[in-house]
Chains A and B, each alone.
Chain A
Amino acid sequence: MTKSIIQNIAVVALLTSTSLFANQAIAGKVELTSSSAQEKMVLNAEGVEELQILPIDKIVPGDVVIYSNNIINNSDKSATDLVIVNPIPKHMEYVQSSLSCDASVGCNKLFSIDGGASFKERNQLFVTDNKGGVRVAYANEITTVKWILNQLTVNSKTELKFKAKLK
Chain B
Amino acid sequence: MNTLLKYFIFTVLLFELSLAKGAPAGTSITNRAMISYMSGGVDYNGTSNEVTDVVDQLIDLKMEWIDMSPIVVERGESQAILTFRLANIGNGEDRFVLTHAHDKNSTFRPKHSKLYQDSNENGVYDASDEQIHNVKLIADTTVTLFLLLDVSKFKSDKSAIVYESLQARSTMGGSSKSDSGAKIKVVKGLKGGVDSAMGNFKIFGYRLNLAHSAMVENQFGSNEAIRGAIVTYSIDLSIEGIGEIENIIIRDAIPKGTIYQSESLTLDGSSLSDGIDGDVGSFNGEAIKVNIGSMKQTKTVIPKQKISFKVKIK
Contact = CB atoms under 8 A, between A and B. Distances in A.
Interface of A: 22-26, 29-30, 32-36, 56-62, 65, 67, 69, 71, 75, 77-87, 89-92, 152, 166-167
Contacts of B32: 34, 86-87
A58 B56 contact: yes
A67 B38 contact: no
Given A61-B22, A69-B33, A34 B49 contact: yes
Contact of B33 (A24, A59, A77, A86): A86
Given A30-B39, A57-B185, A67-B51, 11 more contacts: A24-B44, A32-B47, A33-B49, A34-B32, A59-B53, A60-B22, A61-B58, A80-B39, A84-B34, A86-B31, A86-B32
A25 B40 contact: no
Contacts of B34: 84-86
Contacts of A82: 35-37
Nearest to A67: B31
Interface residues of B, number: 36
Contacts of A33: 48-49
B124 interface: no
Nearest to A145: B33
Contacts of B54: 59
Most-contacted residue by chain B among A32, A86, A152 (CB, 10 A): A32
Contacts of A167: 21-23
A-B pairs with lowest CB-CB distance, top 4: A61-B22, A25-B46, A60-B58, A34-B48
A166 B23 contact: yes
B23 A79 contact: no
Nearest to B188: A60
B56 A59 contact: yes
Contacts of A78: 39
A166 B55 contact: yes
15 contacts: A25-B37, A26-B44, A30-B44, A32-B35, A34-B48, A36-B53, A67-B31, A75-B39, A81-B38, A82-B37, A84-B34, A84-B35, A91-B23, A166-B22, A167-B22
A24 B45 contact: yes
Given A25-B44, A77-B39, A166-B23, A91 B185 contact: no
Nearest to A73: B39
